[in-house]
A and B are shown apart, each in its own frame.
Chain A
Amino acid sequence: MRGAKSAKWVAIAAVVALGATACGGGGDDKGSSKAAIDPNGVFSVESGEPQNPLQPANTMESYGSIVIKSLFSQLVSYDSAGKIVMVNAQSVDSKDNKTFTVKLKPGWKFHDGTAVTADSYVKAWNWAAAPANKQTNSFWFSDIQGYDDVAPAKGKPKATSLSGLKVVDDSTFTITLSKPMPYFVYKLGYEVFSPLPESFYKDPKAAGQHPIGNGPYKFVSWQHKKQIQVAKFDGYKGPDAAKNGGVIFKNYATPETAYEDLKSGNVDVLTQIAPKDLPVYKQDLGDRAIDQPISAIQTIAPAFYTKQWKNINPKVLQGLSMAIDRATITKTVLNGTREPATGWVAKGVLGFQPNAAGDVTTYNAAKAKQLIKEGGGVPGNSITIQYNADGGHKDWVDAVCNSITNATGVKCAGDSKADFQADLNARDAHQVKSLYRSGWVLDFPMNANFIRDLYGSKSDGNQSGFSNAKVDADIAAADSASSLEDSEQKYQAIEKELVNYMPSIPLWYYKVNAGYSEKVSGVKFDQAGDPVLTGVQVAKK
């Protein structure tokens, strides 16, 4: 009996072994026969599993927002130079920069066939602003009048809708802000300000799994951890109608595997290149490689709440800044994936001015030493730079440290936190010991976003504790400027002033390093570093 059992075991093993080798034998190229070009060609983009449900006001990370962007259109958008383009809005007018009148274009429909009306916007924004609905991006509505009643810092909400939003008729509504903001129109281009169809409110949770929008693509399917598919929406009325038949967002665990798949034709558009492949990707892809600056900046910020930096003379920080050899580090350590920064505002946004920081961002060891000496030296003569170890920052932090030590003799070391969460934790709790790595990607393409939201003493993005009465007053003045141009110029003036306070040390601008397959053409990236999906054309075989 037992003998028989053993014999069976062996038999099973043999069958399996045969099966395994049979698998290995054949079947490799399944023929990439998806060629016949047409405006209906479908292509794939390297992406990942969205962290959040696909609700427009609930998505912050890039995997979710690239899908949301394809499914939803907002009132306005902006071009590559940072100029406003009307999308769903016919016009957005204001006389005092406080009350904006929005007129919608006629004939727009959601993917389920219902009309996009003024109510679609107002109701959606009210829903997203209410804390009970737990939308991660709800604070974007805080500029609108009545937000404090809907979401008071303490206690129960006093109102369920924002008093600053009023529907005039089916295609018109007004937005009243709590205080004037000349560049508010820019914010309207963010996904948070999307309209929602009536069906959304019946079951917001289900809508997050199967979103219905008003954008150039309509939702097809979401296979969790595998892919999301969207198809061209034929009834789309906007200026950016899709030139292809649809997009598949494919889930990749690492950029390395995505790059291999690009080479073997399994994915068409990459949004990033792994460090390992950076030295070769231009050679591999030729003119299908993409290398362009985007509107994001990396800085190192002193923790102004520490003893070391509390009452520091800005000259010391200027000196440290001049001790960093940005040109060499970006070229060597960072493989040309960054571009040395010359100011605090990134490229590609309205109001960008080259060389805003003067010579403070150019490497000059002698002057660096002298400035630090004039400023009274670095307290303790040693600094650390906090960074998160899971973001690939170690190499450049070490390089920056070496550069500072070599040029000035100030001791410098990296202070590594296990991951981004731990890093954030230390920053939020004001436990940074000396300096920390900081980065900012644009929310809207205007210089105000890089100055007000980072260096205003009460801004959400200000985690360094930088606070300067003069800067705050200037920001308030720029915010109440009479026109967008005026505001832009005032912010430009503030940026020129920042060098005297050194709220952070600008390092470099980010670039997008990406590529695409031979199957597609017309692949462009916007200033946030995302591919412009609607412009991609799928080639004929």
Chain B
Amino acid sequence: MGRYVARRLLQMIPVFIGTTLLIFLMVYALPGDPVRGLFGDKGGSPQVIAQLRHQYGLDQPILVQYWHYMKNMILHGDFGTQIASGRPVTDVLGDAFPVTLRLAGLSFLIEMVFGIALGIVAGLRAGRVTDNAILLFTLLLISVPVFVLGYILKVIFAFDLNWLPPNVNDPTNYNEMLMPAIVLATASLAYVTRLTRTSIAENLRADYIRTAIAKGLPKRRVVGVHLMRNSLIPVVTYLGTDIGALMGGAVVTEGLFNIQGIGGTIYQSIVRREGTTLVGLVTILVLVYLLANLLVDLLYAVLDPRIRYA
């Protein structure tokens, strides 16, 4: 187990370098210059532009820029400086990440709890009315675009019923975060439900379940331990990759509910060609993905005793 983890951690190094380099090159390839962009329609004094470009090292070859960037990041934990605001990127990340973590955490809980619960109910009653109703419900969630759902929820719960505030003004207030978290969770929730339902329905017919029932085990134990543990493997795989998607891919939801998180910051960094900010953000997301995947693989062993890591 220990060797397996060590090997996996070592494998992360080339993946990490590859992804950051790729992103660095892609930002570089975009037309537009972050320094020139500061001056807008009116154009700026060439001296100041040259000074700024020099300060941020933009006048050097791309691979040299990448080398300096990685060196500072790994040795000093320094992600560089934002060109427009002059703030260290670590500060910018420090502003955005807690907000997104709260949002992603909340919606992850929602999708996990409700997704698995619905999936179990549907799987146990496969083919009956409950199953069909849940199928319909999840199909609806998958097919309605996020922003449509967001507006509908806003109109109903914020403007008509006045139960929830329409937008987030204070990201530490979970009351305000609830609606965006639900919206963000819906599509994944539906997938979790479908996955759980399928594997539950399948495993229900497996030999070991029949044995367990024949042994006279109470139903709670049959479903809760024997059935669940074997059925959850595909679900856990999906949930693991979804953590990353929830964190980085919430651009639409964040914009819809005025949440100043990672998604919006990524979008802004692209528009303003803030390469350093973008690479810093994505680097952390890459790490989150890699760690989540490792965690998922380790969870397999816990869930299914047949899987062993040497």
Contact = CB atoms under 8 A, between A and B. Distances in A.
A418 B254 CA distance: 22
A424 B264 contact: no
A151 interface: yes
Contact of B258 (A17, A51, A252, A263): A252
B31 A425 contact: yes
B143 interface: no
B213 to A, nearest CB: 17
B166 A260 contact: yes
B259 A253 contact: yes
B158 A264 contact: yes
Interface residues of A, number: 68
B42 A460 contact: yes
Contact of B225 (A3, A16, A60, A426): A3
Interface string A431-447: 00000001110010000
Interface in B75-103: 84-87, 91-92, 95-96
Given A24-B178, A260-B166, A425 B264 contact: no
Interface stretch (A127-135, A285-293, A485-493): A127-135
Given A5-B302, A253-B260, A253-B264, A28 B113 contact: no
Given A50-B85, A266-B169, A421 B32 contact: yes
Contacts of B154: 260
Contact of B48 (A27, A131, A460): A131
A226 B258 CA distance: 10
A419 B32 contact: yes
A460 to B, nearest CB: 4
Interface in A468-526: none
| Central interface residue in A53, A252, A258, A424, by most chain B CB within 10 Å | A424
Contacts of B47: 131, 138, 151-153
Contacts of B175: 23, 27-28
B167 A51 contact: no
Interface in A136-151: 136, 138-139, 142, 151
Contact of A53 (B52, B85, B163): B85
A20 B229 contact: no
B32 A224 contact: no
B271 interface: yes
Contacts of B260: 49, 225-226, 251, 253
Interface residues of B, number: 68
Nearest to B91: A224
Nearest to B39: A136
Nearest to A155: B47
Nearest to B268: A49
Contacts of B114: 17
Contact of A205 (B86, B170, B257): B86
Contacts of A169: none
Contacts, number: 173
A421 B31 contact: yes
A280 interface: no
A250 B34 CA distance: 25
B96 A51 contact: no
Contacts of B30: 421-422
A425 to B, nearest CB: 5
B202 interface: no
Given A2-B302, A224-B91, A151 B271 contact: no
Contacts of B34: 421
Nearest to A251: B260
Interface in B89-125: 91-92, 95-96, 106, 109-110, 112-114, 116
A203 to B, nearest CB: 12
A6 B228 contact: yes
B256 to A, nearest CB: 7
Contact of B46 (A6, A17, A153): A153
| Central interface residue in A29, A138, A225, A226, by most chain B CB within 10 Å | A225
B137 interface: no
Interface in A72-131: 131
A52 to B, nearest CB: 6
Interface string B37-50: 11111111111101
Contacts of B40: 60-61, 424
A390 interface: yes
Given A6-B228, A10-B224, A422-B32, A136 B48 contact: yes
A13 interface: yes
A23 B86 contact: no
B282 interface: no
Given A6-B225, A421-B33, A134 B55 contact: yes
A164 interface: no
A253 B113 contact: no
B39 A24 contact: no
B162 interface: yes
A199 interface: no
A250 to B, nearest CB: 7
| Central interface residue in B47, B55, B116, B264, by most chain A CB within 10 Å | B47
Interface in B144-166: 154, 158-159, 162-166
Interface string A176-205: 000000000000000000000000000001
B269 to A, nearest CB: 12
A24 B42 CA distance: 50
Contacts of B165: 28, 264, 266
A530 interface: no
A421 B273 contact: yes
Nearest to B178: A23
Contacts of A359: none
Given A50-B85, A440-B41, A257 B113 contact: no
A214 to B, nearest CB: 23
Interface in A261-280: 261, 263-264, 266
Nearest to B224: A6
Given A20-B109, A250-B169, A422 B48 contact: no
Contacts of A254: 255-256, 258
Contacts of A377: none
A208 B162 contact: no
5 contacts: A53-B86, A224-B87, A261-B166, A390-B271, A422-B31
Closest 3 CB pairs of A and B: A421-B32, A139-B45, A131-B47
Given A6-B228, A260-B159, A428-B36, 8 more contacts: A53-B85, A131-B51, A136-B48, A253-B254, A257-B256, A266-B167, A420-B271, A428-B43
